[in-house]
Amino acid sequence: MGTMPILLLTALLHLYIGWRIAPQLPGPWASGLLVAVLVGSALLIPAAFFGRKARERSSADRWTWAGMTALGLFSMLFVLTLLREFVLLAAMPFASLPPLAVPSAEAVPLLALVGVLLGFMNARRTAHVRDVKVPVAGLPAALEGFTIAQITDVHIGPTVKKPYVQAIVDRVNKLQADAVAITGDLVDGRVQDLHDDAAPLAGLRSRHGTFFVTGNHEYYSGAPEWVALLGKLGLRVLTNEHVVLQHGSAQLVMAGVADFSAGHFEPENRSDPQRAMAGAPAGAGAKVLLAHQPRSAPAAADAGFDLQLSGHTHGGQFWPWNLFVPLQQPFTAGLHKLRNLWVYTSRGTGYWGPPLRLGAPSEITRLRLVAAS
């Protein structure tokens, strides 16, 4: 579906919210205020998409900020309006009984506003550190406690700028990890517009370095240019390949694949875990794959990896969209087992689109390898 049909549908849904809620608000001032908000939202949401084409970057970013915030408020209003409709329908068979408590119309805009404010604060704060232990069968003693700091889905772009990225880098560096893994969707825009905002990534520090794999948004944003820039910033980009990390007396394979959809953009980059594993030492103590989308997991298990680190889902970012993630991905968030493969899916370190996070907190993940008991 193209942009224009989506925007037309969005406009019609704004009319639906106004029709169902505004007439039932207490007083003409409240109804008028909601109508004004809905009209403003319907006008600003298209600006989030078309405004990004403005020649002057600060102007484009302001339009995106306004439009994406409006999109978040509209989403909350629409979902709450639907929920209220379901409750009213469920109450209809009991109309002959004493009046039942049903959600009042004014609860919809009030709850939507609270949700937007809480979601904004959650999205804009620096992600907290989440500690996860991964039990690996046959893990050598030298790799016991090996730590990987994972960040993913930062989406450096119109609303995620240099200070936000610098705060993430500072928090990761405090972990003193053995390796840093960035599992895609790092950027959401062109190199020429965002190179300064990505610059803090050069400051990432760990014992073995920083490793990066592409996500789908890198391919929307000019993947070859970003791969070149990130290499200059000191990140090792892994495209269907691996490196062997010598950690004391043991070896760890750190591999990476291009995004699951990469073949649609660059056929030579088609995601291939088997190719990423090719030539890896059979006696390596642990084999780790960085893959942006969790749905790379079956191929990773076939290739013999012990652990896959992924992102992409944002954990749903805000309710109820987390309920739809399983329609596309096998895992939404957290640590799961697929045959002999552990898969960790991060909820993401930044956000995409509306600056909202509700029920899916952002995270910087510290994964610690431990011997399976």
- In tens, the pLDDT along 87-100 reads 888 877 766 555 55
> Residue 3 corresponds to which amino acid?
T
Q: Is the pLDDT of residue 71 over 80?
A: yes
Structural domain boundaries in the chain: 3-122, 129-371
Task: Give me the percent of the chain exceeding a pLDDT of 70.
Answer: 95
Please give the pLDDT value at position 321. 81
Q: Can you tell me the mean pLDDT for 158-171?
A: 97
**What is the C-alpha to C-alpha distance for residues 368 and 337, in angstroms, rounded to an integer?**
16
Across the range 208-233, mean pLDDT stands at: 97
Confidence of residue 285 (pLDDT cuts 50, 70, 90): very high
Helices (H), 51-106: 57-91
The stretch 209-218 carries a mean pLDDT of: 97
- Range 105-132 burial, b when 16+ CB lie within 10 A, else e: beebbebbeebbeebbebbbeebeebeb
The answer on pLDDT for 57 being more than 90 is: no
* DSSP state letter for 138: T
- Write down the pLDDT at residue 319: 81
What would the pLDDT profile of 115-144 be if each residue is shown by its tens digit? 999 999 999 999 999 999 999 999 999 999
Instruction: Out of 14-23, 52-61, 69-78, 253-262, pick the least confident.
Output: 52-61
pLDDT, residue 47, reads 81
Q: Which CATH class is domain 129-371?
A: alpha beta
> Does 331 have pLDDT greater than 70?
yes
Please report the pLDDT score of residue 56 as a whole number. 74
How many Å separate Cα 124 from the centre of its chain? 13
Q: Please report which confidence band the pLDDT of residue 43 belongs to, taking 50, 70 and 90 as the band edges.
A: very high
Residue 1 reports pLDDT greater than 70: no
pLDDT greater at residue 62 or residue 232: 232
Residue type, 223: A
Sheet with 235-237, strands from edge to edge, namely 128-136, 363-371, 147-151, 179-183, 210-213, 235-237
Gap between the Cα atoms of 184 and 349, Å rounded:
11
Residue 52: pLDDT over 70: no
pLDDT digits (tens, 9 = 90+) for 165-188: 999 999 999 999 999 999 999 999
pLDDT value of residue 127: 98
For residue 210, count other CB atoms closer than 10 A to its CB: 24
Coil, strand or helix at 318: strand
pLDDT above 70 for 114: yes
What is the dihedral sign for C-alpha 76, 364, 181, 254? negative
Q: What is the DSSP string of 61-76?
A: HHHHHHHHHHHHHHHH
CA-CA distance, 186 to 106, in Å (whole number)?
A: 39
pLDDT at res. 358:
94
Average pLDDT, the chain: 93
pLDDT band at 51 (very low <50, low <70, confident <90, very high): low
- Segment 62-90 mean pLDDT: 92
